Structure 1
Amino acid sequence: MSDMTAKTAPEIKAVPETMTAAFDDFMEAFEAFKETNDRRLGEIEAKFSDDVVTRDKMDRINRAMDEQKKLLDQLVLKKARPPLGRSGAGGPDTAEHKAAFENYIRRGDEAGLREIEAKAMSVGTGADGGYLVPPETDTEIGRRLSVVSPIRSLATVRQVSGAVLKKPFSTSGMASGWVAETAARPQTGNAQLAELTFPTMELYAMPAATQALLDDAAVDIEAWISGEVDTVFAEQEGTAFVSGDGTNKPKGFLAYSAVAESSWSWGNLGYIPTGAAGAFAASGASDVLVDAIYALKAGYRRNANFVMNRKTQAAVRKLKDADGRYIWQPPAAAGQAATLMGFPVAEAEDMPDIAAGSLSIAFGDFRAGYLVVDRTGVRVLRDPYSAKPYVLFYTTKRVGGGVQNFEAIKVVKFGVS
């Protein structure tokens, strides 16, 4: 007991100043995790149960690892974030647009935007009085969403100018056959095409600020709009891309029908069962992950990722292969992803927890399998009248999504069959 209490779970330290320091803290926590889990497995083997102190320590280390990984991700995000209003980012028109947008946000002065957008013959001015935000702010929002929402960063993202993207997909190729030199050549079958439709849905946020805040010259208005909007947009998108039902929102990949891999057909996702309801199998627990990996064709495996939430990842961290090696490995360097059996792991909190019949782990080439459709432009409508003394900023974006290749994504079902 004295040895167990001598090494406690790693404390969550203050935010490190560099990614290297954060990565070192994370690796220290992982080493403590492996040591404690090995002790827990030894106790189970010796006494057929694990000590409650060891189990509690495991939970504390798991939570500490999650927090330290979050700090590491935040530092990576900060480093990758482009500065707004940087010199040389655009020509005089960009600077003029930015200044006019600043006047509109702070004082409601529409004259500058009207003149610029009329001069540029822009389609951004609609009957609702909205205006496209300056390119710098639009780029900032898109970049931060790519980091916060893991599915967006893994999937193919298309920019469209219309309300719907229609995409043809060949579900089967042309037929061919071998013939003798003088044999007849009958007509062969044609390729079979399926039309996939991806409508864009409206995503909105309406942050508020007092006029006094807007009048303060020290306030970075563009950063404020990005900070207010990106969080709520990322949360809504992340949920929709995973489990959205397609009604007034994108359709998530888990919203499609799932069938056993042995009876897979186009339009469905194939699943591989663990063999136990709400758990991994008692023996050979990691075998289901191997089966999921090789359910994908080789062309998709090259760019495949595992997707799961942090609770599922905590359970996977405890699994070992037949040689006693942990199948989950921490990132090789700061800014890289953890790996599971050699494939990157993307942590998506919107994936379901492990439960009976749940589809808690996905594996696939999401760039080939899932499509995100963005309608160009983020729109802002300034409303200083509806909620005095606050000024409301009705911010909208059109986004859609859905599975574009049902062969490229497989899921693990925590069930008997």
Structure 2
Amino acid sequence: MNMMTNLRASAAMGRGLVAVRAEAQPKKIASIDDLNVAFEAFKTKHTEQLEEIKAGKTDVLTTESLEKINATLTELQTAVDEQAKINAAAKLGDGAIIGDIKADPEYTAAFKAHMRKGERAPSDIQAAMSKGTDADGGYVAPVEWDRTITDKLKQISPIRQHARVITISTAGFKKLFNDRAVGSGWVGETASRPATSTPQFGSLDFTTGEIYANPAISQQLLDDSAIDLEAWLADEVQTEFARQEGIAFLSGDGTNKPHGILTYVTGAANAARHPFGDIKSVATGQAAALSADGFLDLIYSLPAEFSANAKLFINRQSMLAVRKLKDGQGNYLWQPSYATGAPQTIAGEAVVDVPGMPGVGAGAIVALYGDMDATYLVIDRVGVRVLRDPFTNKPFVHFYTTKRVGGGVHNPEPMRALRVAAA
């Protein structure tokens, strides 16, 4: 039996699915129908598990089967999401379209020459927003290179993808905030008009830290290789940068790195940093578990004016617990995608998978809900810089790639956090 045959058998026979192994499934293009079949199998098996619990017994095979179906469900949902990204993503490479920028063949040739021999790139392909010096062997990465890495980071780092991103040309960024404390009142026609309160300004500094990658290639490989060296280096950089950014945007302490959004939640290190206060948290109602009421309280605690672009940010490991939650009418809160490119939902709200979010545990911030674009600010300090270093570690040539990035909450009001707690 193949994977979908097993799932259909489980949906029809209840206990029939006991041998689905996600790791053994052949690679295929997942469809919405596959996902829906898997969800029906999950609901059938979960209902069976609940009946066993009510009867005072727990079947290990039922639990194992449910976990396997859930793993398959997660894999299918991920495959559908990735397929949507692939369909929408621009292709990278020589002459490819990167966003609205077309790669320059002259730039590509010059960059590859620099990779192999360290030849100086012509000044006419250097990016106006980046800088480098000949004295330290510097190479100024053109706009196409910078845009390529940034585009990949947006695909991989969910916080960057959904947050507001700006590029600055100075060492830091300062934002002014109006406390909106203007006063007003009703008066009669000839009554005196006493002075009312005047709003005040506050400020918040956003500084950048430096993120780097330092891949190395042997000189012989550079001389002999026919691979696309530019694509190779971009892949190395985007993977490392995305991993580091994902950690920092969530929990960074602000020391040579961004201030993470979780540090602004009530009771966290930066709860008092912002002039508007902290990110308010809502309890799940259970000391160490999730609840349907907790998610509904979270969603409806957000002011209506911020709900249009709001999404739920949660990690994949927490989704098993979420998939078991039902509302008062017995409907599952979690629903799969029903169209290609459409997100999975919890209580009708779009879900974003954030790998670095804490898992389910007492006191953990297990989910964020709100408008990330209106809440979190990512600051890029102009471009990517690549230094070619053939001297430090012979016979390897290092390509020391750096980017200065900062981040922090610029408005806590459009975001809420779900904390695992009884109250």
Q: TM-score, normalised by structure 1?
A: 0.89
Q: Contact 1:9–1:61 at 8 Å: present in 2 too? A: no
Secondary structure of 1:187's aligned partner: coil
Q: Contact 2:96–2:103 at 8 Å: present in 1 too? A: no
| Higher mean C-alpha deviation, range 64-73 or range 270-279 | 64-73
Residue 139 of structure 1 aligns with which residue? 147
Secondary structure of 1:378's aligned partner: strand
Q: Contact 1:278–1:355 at 8 Å: present in 2 too? A: yes
Deviation at 1:140, TM superposition (A): 1.8
1:50-106 deviation line (CA, Å, top 9, x unaligned): 321111111112222223333334433433133333268899994433332221112
Structure 1 residues 92 and 154, CA gap change in structure 2 (3 angstroms): closer
Residue 185 of structure 1 aligns with which residue? 193
Query: Is 1:364 the equivalent of 2:370?
Result: yes
Residue 4 of structure 2 aligns with which residue? none
Q: 2:240 aligns with which of 232, 237, 240?
A: 232
Structure 1 residues 86 and 117, CA gap change in structure 2 (3 angstroms): closer
Residue 6 of structure 2 aligns with which residue? none
Query: Is 1:389 the equivalent of 2:401?
Result: no
Map 1:204-243 to 2 at 5 A.
204-216=212-224, 218-243=226-251
Structure 1 residues 367 and 49, CA gap change in structure 2 (3 angstroms): farther
Query: Is 1:35 the equivalent of 2:39?
Result: no
1:153-200 deviation line (CA, Å, top 9, x unaligned): 111111111121111122324222221111112222222322121111
Residue 273 of structure 1 aligns with which residue? 283
Q: 4+ runs of 1 displaced by more than 6 Å?
A: 87-93
Residue 195 of structure 1 aligns with which residue? 203
Q: 2:26 aligns with which of 7, 14, 18?
A: 14
Amino acid of the residue matched to residue 337 of structure 1?
A: P
Structure 1 residues 226 and 122, CA gap change in structure 2 (3 angstroms): closer
Q: Distance in 2 between matches of 1:314 and 1:174?
A: 48
Residue 61 of structure 2 aligns with which residue? 53
Deviation at 1:31, TM superposition (A): 2.2
1:233-252 deviation line (CA, Å, top 9, x unaligned): 11111111111111111111
Residue 404 of structure 1 aligns with which residue? 410
Amino acid of the residue matched to residue 162 of structure 2?
A: L
Q: Contact 1:274–1:412 at 8 Å: present in 2 too? A: yes
Q: Distance in 2 between matches of 1:238 and 1:415?
A: 25
Deviation at 1:318, TM superposition (A): 0.6
Structure 1 residues 75 and 221, CA gap change in structure 2 (3 angstroms): farther
Q: Distance in 1 between matches of 2:31 and 2:220?
A: 38
Residue 124 of structure 1 aligns with which residue? 131
Amino acid of the residue matched to residue 190 of structure 1?
A: T
Q: Contact 1:310–1:347 at 8 Å: present in 2 too? A: yes
Deviation at 1:124, TM superposition (A): 1.5
Q: Distance in 1 between matches of 2:206 and 2:342?
A: 31
1:246-276 deviation line (CA, Å, top 9, x unaligned): 111111111124159xx99933121111232
Q: Distance in 2 between matches of 1:23 and 1:196?
A: 45
Amino acid of the residue matched to residue 28 of structure 1?
A: V
Query: Is 1:99 the equivalent of 2:109?
Result: yes
Q: Distance in 1 between matches of 2:210 and 2:101?
A: 31
Residue 293 of structure 1 aligns with which residue? 299
Please, which runs of 5 or more residues in structure 1 have no aligned partner? Answer: none
Query: Is 1:352 the equivalent of 2:362?
Result: no
Residue 375 of structure 1 aligns with which residue? 381
Q: Contact 2:171–2:207 at 8 Å: present in 1 too? A: yes
CA RMSD of aligned residues (A): 2.8
Q: Contact 1:272–1:291 at 8 Å: present in 2 too? A: yes
Q: Distance in 2 between matches of 1:203 and 1:220?
A: 24
Residue 7 of structure 2 aligns with which residue? none
Q: Distance in 2 between matches of 1:146 and 1:364?
A: 19
Map 1:108-123 to 2 at 5 A.
108-110=118-120, 112-113=121-122, 115-116=123-124
Deviation at 1:372, TM superposition (A): 0.6
Q: Contact 2:316–2:353 at 8 Å: present in 1 too? A: yes
1:299-319 deviation line (CA, Å, top 9, x unaligned): 111111111111212111110
Q: Contact 2:130–2:382 at 8 Å: present in 1 too? A: no
Structure 1 residues 187 and 242, CA gap change in structure 2 (3 angstroms): same
Q: Contact 2:154–2:160 at 8 Å: present in 1 too? A: yes
Count of equivalent residues:
404
| Higher mean C-alpha deviation, range 244-253 or range 215-224 | 215-224
Q: Contact 1:98–1:134 at 8 Å: present in 2 too? A: no
Secondary structure of 2:179's aligned partner: strand
Residue 85 of structure 1 aligns with which residue? 94
1:371-411 deviation line (CA, Å, top 9, x unaligned): 11111211111112222222111010111111111111111
Secondary structure of 2:356's aligned partner: coil
Q: Distance in 1 between matches of 2:182 and 2:220?
A: 67
Deviation at 1:202, TM superposition (A): 0.3
